Chain A
Amino acid sequence: MLFLKKVILAVLVCVFVISGFASRIIVNSYMSDPAPRQTFTELVKMFEEQNPGYEVVVNTFAHEDFKTLLRTWLGSRNAPDVVTWFAGERMRYFASRDLLAPIDEIFTNGFGNEFPEAFKSASYYQDKAYFVPQSWYWWGMYYNTEVFEELGLKVPVTWDEFIDVCETLKVNGYIPITIGTRYLWTTGGWFDYLNMRVNGLEFHEEFTAGKVAWTDPRIRKVFEYWGQLVNNGYFLENHSSYDWQTAANDLFSGRAGMYLMGQFIKDVAPDNVKDKLDFFRFPVIDPNIGLYEDTPIDGFMVPANARNKEGAMKFMEFIASQNAQQYFAEELGRLAAHRNVPAVDDHAQDGLNMILESDGVMQFYDRDTDPQMADRGMNAFVEFMMFPDRLDRILQTLERERQRIFR
């Protein structure tokens, strides 16, 4: 009996020791849409095959919930080892509070060797790297090519041409521009583009940093252009009832003509609709102002309180490698941040070309500015889109908020 107990004990000890050999890396991800989630799972399998002795556990969270859960993880003593997140101000918010681990060690040949210099400022804080960019995507005016063909519409380049397209769509019973504003960020895209087209990149950067008043006449001009679309009824009616995916159904089914949206709209498009979707650059308002676009960059970072930093760095190195970047981009039709990865298909090449021909980029309204200001701002955008006559009051209220938030 005693001998049997010893055998059992020995077996248990062996099991524990062997399982202890597999170093466990915990990754928390917000890729809850089916396509990226599947691809990321396959990427993780590739890592485990190339690095036996590491076991990766991926916890996936709904995209919106992740944003609020992240701060609890970073603050706790039991943080995950790697997390997905956004570059730029959103990353710097945590880096500046010492909640992230610097990752310079994984760029053996320097950041600029593997990634575009343009992405450096979005991945660094005070000369240390905290962020590995994985993919970025562009925003553009997506349109239903079948609808355009039916009405004989050409892709508009200038604002006046764009208004003509909207009018033609409306007169023929289509919804010119669909949008779902139940969850506010879709309005941020419109504000970004209108501001960048009317006032340029430097002004937009200063504005999102809270250095310009909402009551400034240059901001008012932005709302004048926006007002043209609102007052002519070019937006989907009752857009605040819909989330962005429900509103996208109008574009997919051919009820609507256009949707200002990120490239990921293709992720949720039904297969038979994917080929009917194309995009064009947001129309030019002032030909003297450069072409600026929103290109949010997604990637990974390592919490300062990660338990398995060594495993985390290994995983980050893998994510930054050309093979991993290429795989992820190819499966999802996105653009890899890695400079040596070619564009995967014509659609991605079009996006890449548009950005290569641009003069500068921003991340996105709610990533570039203070979260509180973004919340008040985007709520105000929805109010403006529903009640454009309230513009004066809206701008004054926002200005008071700005002074309180950036004081």
Chain B
Amino acid sequence: MQLKKKQWWVPYAFLALPLIMYAIWVIIPVFRTFAFSFTDWDGVNPDYKFIGLQNFKDLIEDYVFFDALKNNFKWIIMFIILPVPLGLGMAMLLDIKLPGHKIFKTLIFLPMTLSFVVIGQVWAWIYDPRFGALNTTLEAIGLGSLTQAWLSNPNIVTFSLIGAAVWRQIPYMMILFLAGLKNVNQSHVEAALVDGANSFQRFWYVILPALRPSMIIAFTVSVIDSLRAFDIVYVMTGGGPFNSSTVLANYMYIEAFNNYRMGFGSAIAVIQFLITFGFIVIYVNHNLKKEKEM
């Protein structure tokens, strides 16, 4: 749509206010955090020194940092493997419009209306080793041998936390895919049916490619959400036991705000930013290229 030359400024005028707010609250603080990561600021004292890459050197020698990285990696993998296919599966099921599908959609959607703090607190009760719903149910149905110290066992605590987060993420994916499915061209699906494709082939060769834009969003959002995970970790375990469930966001928070190491915390934030940025760039680029090819 060509705008008259007199009105070329109209889009910029509309964008100006949100862009300014975005710049003040997001862009500028990002650059300031980058700057702080090269200092030894404790977050309190107005005086601080430039110390170059010392914070990053300290990070490389920090065992808690590597524990956090490993845990973030677990979060990313699990967030890619579980919510996306499960969300898609639920969306496909609910798209069939069986009787009661609206009720199911609402019920499955409910976790998304809860704040992470509430989700964390309730799941902490569910995971309580003695009185929590999970262990008592397992024992009641004769699977007592499977009971665990869900939040105490350092080997499984991160997976317990991820479980609570995935419970909330699945409805998010489901909504995304339900919207994406509406954009699938039904005539293509019918043409495939006429050509003799079975339901799996229709799904794999017609529906799934048509869902590509939704897939991009789903994966990007999942990766970002997994790297952002803070509330659930902070509320359910505080990063413990002894930092075995800590993630970068949690570690950054504790170091910056509890331990008076704002410069060091900024360095952790920079690392987290670079990881997130890397994922997004690679994935979006790859898919944009594929879209252009199509």
Contacts and interface: CB of A to CB of B under 8 A. Distances in A.
Interface of A: 67-68, 71-72, 74-75, 93-94, 97, 99, 181-184, 237-242, 246, 371-372, 375, 379-380, 382-383, 386, 397, 404
B129 A383 contact: no
Interface in B255-294: 255, 257-261
A383 B124 CA distance: 20
Interface string B42-81: 0111100000000000100001000000000000000000
A71 B240 contact: no
Nearest to B243: A379
Contacts of A238: 129-130, 149, 151-152
Nearest to A371: B259
Contact of B240 (A68, A97, A240): A240
Given A182-B237, A241-B128, 10 more contacts: A68-B258, A71-B44, A71-B260, A181-B240, A182-B238, A182-B240, A241-B127, A242-B128, A371-B258, A379-B242
A242 B240 CA distance: 11
B241 interface: yes
Contacts of B156: none
Q: Which of B124, B128, B152, B260 has most chain A Cβ within 10 Å?
A: B152
Nearest to A240: B241
Nearest to B234: A64
User: Range of interface residues on chain B?
Assistant: 20 to 34
Contact of B149 (A75, A184, A241): A241
Given A99-B44, A184-B238, A382-B242, A375 B63 contact: no
A239 B240 CA distance: 11
A397 B63 contact: yes
14 contacts: A67-B258, A68-B257, A68-B258, A75-B44, A184-B240, A238-B151, A240-B151, A240-B152, A241-B124, A241-B129, A372-B255, A375-B258, A379-B243, A382-B241
Contact of B44 (A74, A181, A237, A380): A74
A178 B260 CA distance: 31
Q: Which of A181, A184, A240 has most chain B Cβ within 10 Å?
A: A240
Interface of B: 43-46, 58, 63, 124, 127-130, 149-152, 154, 237-238, 240-243, 254-255, 257-261
Contact of B152 (A71, A241, A371): A241
A382 B243 CA distance: 10
B241 A371 contact: no
Nearest to B148: A238
Provide the main secondary structure of the chain A interface. helix
Contacts of A386: 152, 154, 241-242
B129 A382 contact: no
A181 B63 CA distance: 21
A75 B242 contact: no
Nearest to B127: A241
Contact of B46 (A75, A372, A379): A75
B269 to A, nearest CB: 16
A67 B255 CA distance: 13
Nearest to B43: A71
B257 A383 contact: no
Nearest to B58: A404
B254 A375 contact: yes
A260 B154 CA distance: 25
A59 to B, nearest CB: 18
Nearest to A70: B44
Contacts of A99: 44
Contacts of A68: 257-258
B260 A372 contact: yes
Contacts of B258: 67-68, 371, 375
Contacts of A93: 44, 260
B45 A97 contact: yes
Contacts of A94: 44
A404 B264 CA distance: 13
B152 to A, nearest CB: 4
Nearest to B253: A68
Nearest to A96: B45
A97 B259 contact: no
Contacts of A379: 240, 242-243
A273 B233 CA distance: 33
Contacts of B151: 182, 238, 240-241
Nearest to A383: B242
Contacts of B255: 372
Nearest to B154: A386
Given A371-B258, A372-B261, A397-B63, A183 B238 contact: yes
A183 B235 CA distance: 10
B259 A372 contact: yes
A404 B61 CA distance: 11
A75 B43 contact: yes
Nearest to A379: B242
A380 B240 contact: no
Contacts of A380: 242
What are the 4 tightest A-B residue pairs by CB atom distance, in nearest-first order? A240-B241, A383-B242, A68-B257, A238-B152
A94 B46 CA distance: 12
B44 A97 contact: yes
B54 to A, nearest CB: 11
A16 B152 CA distance: 58
Contacts of A71: 43-44, 257, 260
A380 B65 CA distance: 15
A239 B241 CA distance: 10
B58 A383 contact: no
B6 to A, nearest CB: 44
Contacts of A372: 255, 259-261
B242 A237 contact: no
A243 to B, nearest CB: 9
Contacts of B154: 386
Contacts of B257: 68, 71
Nearest to B129: A238
B41 to A, nearest CB: 10
Contacts of A242: 128
A401 to B, nearest CB: 9
Contacts of A241: 124, 127-129, 149-152
A185 to B, nearest CB: 11
Q: Which of B130, B240, B243 has most chain A Cβ within 10 Å?
A: B240
A240 to B, nearest CB: 4
Contacts of B238: 182-184
